């Protein structure tokens, strides 16, 4: 199903991505290389396929880097404009701030996307439901095992949202806010301008209390919040493996994606949706699974890397084991180290031989 051409979107990309440090110390979360391209390239390609033609980026943290990455959007078949918050305004404030760059009339639908979500849901069907029912806002909803970490969204039999319970310890449903909204433009214009506003805690509950029609578009397709290192690695691997299709993937789906200049020994084992970045090297006897190897990094013979990120120019020496680890740019992990369970090594750090072990054998 396609939306009418000309649909405008607001893309929320102002966050600092603190949960992903050290990856986000120098790069905004939405620009982190994910399955070979900046994360947002996947979102933008999908939006373009569903009829979006104009996107307003709501930026704050390292705002200039977004324009450097995507320019005016012509290369993606889009028109992209940028609106920057001088001070963080919250989700609602950011949407209201970005709305000054919209060109659509008050009765038009506006798609609002969060810059840290991978989703396989049908955007056009969500927009179609919104338009056909004349809703004020239509929220994409998905089901998760632990809804307490998200906004819990109960609905009635007609799909009407009856409450918006942000991160409650005792959720009444496992259906949560999936972070993609369709707003009536006129509703965005009612959000106070220049103020810190949360759509989750203020705008949505306020609309419901006022009797406005807030709809839930429930969907069971692929969905992932990539806000943590483990989820970021999973999202990249899922795209490479084809668990979620993306027009932006720069190669065929498969066990691994090798980018320009990547060198992988025929005697190395690289699987599980691993990305081997430009000019990265994996030596004979190394084993890499489900990981992101960044530009110019080096994984030596006999090293094991599983569900991890190895930063730009970082080096992983022989005999090292990384499991669910983030290695910052330019770091050196000496021989015999054994890192696991969410450990993070900051950029430029050197770990001497056998400096960290989780087992006694060397």
Catalytic residue numbers? 167
- Compute the C-alpha angle 323/329/330, nearest 5°: 105
Helix (H) or strand (E) holding 355: none
Contacts of 211 (CB under 8 A, 6+ apart): none
Report strand pairing: 7-12 vs 109-114.
Answer: parallel
Rg (CA), the chain: 22
Residues 282, 293 contacting (CB under 8 angstroms): yes
Can you tell me whether residue 276 is helix, strand or coil?
strand
DSSP letters spanning 31-78: GSEETTEEHHHHHHHHHHHTTEEEEEEEE-TTTHHHHHHHTTSGGGTS
Q: How far apart are CA 313 and CA 60, in angstroms?
A: 28
Q: How far apart are CA 30 and CA 49, in angstroms?
A: 19
Q: 82 forms bridges with which residues in the sheet?
A: 57
Q: How far apart are CA 220 and CA 199, in angstroms?
A: 23
Helix (H) or strand (E) holding 227: none
| Residue 354, Cβ density class (10 Å: 0-12 exposed, 13-18 middle, ≥19 buried) | middle
Q: Would you tell me how many other CB atoms lie within 10 Å of the CB of residue 171?
A: 20
């Amino acid at each position: 199903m396609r939306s009418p051409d000309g649909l405008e979107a607001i893309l929320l990309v102002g966050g600092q991505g603190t949960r992903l440090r050290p990856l986000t110390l120098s790069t905004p979360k939405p620009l982190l290389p994910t399955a070979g391209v900046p994360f947002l390239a996947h979102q933008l390609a999908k939006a373009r396929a569903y009829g979006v033609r104009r996107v307003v980026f709501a930026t704050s943290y390292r705002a200039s880097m977004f324009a450097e990455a995507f320019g005016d959007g012509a290369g993606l078949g889009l028109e992209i404009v940028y609106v920057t918050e001088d001070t963080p305004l919250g989700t609602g404030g950011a949407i209201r701030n970005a709305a000054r760059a919209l060109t659509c009339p008050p009765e038009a639908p506006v798609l609002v996307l969060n810059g840290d979500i991978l989703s396989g849901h049908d955007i056009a069907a969500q927009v179609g439901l919104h338009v056909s029912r004349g809703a004020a806002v239509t929220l994409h909803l998905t089901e998760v095992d632990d809804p307490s970490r998200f906004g819990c969204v109960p609905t009635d039999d007609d799909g009407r949202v009856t409450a918006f319970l942000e991160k409650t310890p005792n959720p009444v449903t496992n259906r949560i806010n999936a972070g993609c909204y369709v707003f009536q433009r006129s509703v965005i214009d009612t959000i106070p301008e220049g103020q810190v506003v949360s759509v989750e805690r203020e705008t949505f509950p306020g609309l419901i209390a006022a009797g406005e029609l807030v709809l839930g578009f429930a969907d069971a397709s692929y969905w992932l919040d990539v806000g943590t290192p483990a989820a970021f690695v999973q999202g990249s691997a899922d795209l490479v493996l084809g668990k979620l299709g993306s027009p932006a993937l720069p190669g065929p789906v498969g066990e691994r994606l090798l980018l320009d200049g990547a060198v992988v020994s025929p005697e190395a084992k690289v699987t599980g949706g691993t990305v081997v970045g430009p000019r990265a090297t994996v030596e004979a006897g190394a084993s890499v699974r489900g990981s992101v190897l960044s530009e110019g990094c080096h994984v030596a013979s006999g090293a094991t890397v599983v569900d991890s990120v190895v930063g730009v120019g970082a080096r992983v020496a022989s005999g090292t084991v990384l499991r669910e680890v983030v290695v910052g740019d330019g770091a050196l992990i000496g021989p015999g180290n054994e890192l696991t369970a969410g450990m993070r090594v900051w950029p430029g750090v050197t770990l001497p031989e056998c400096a960290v072990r989780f087992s006694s054998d060397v």
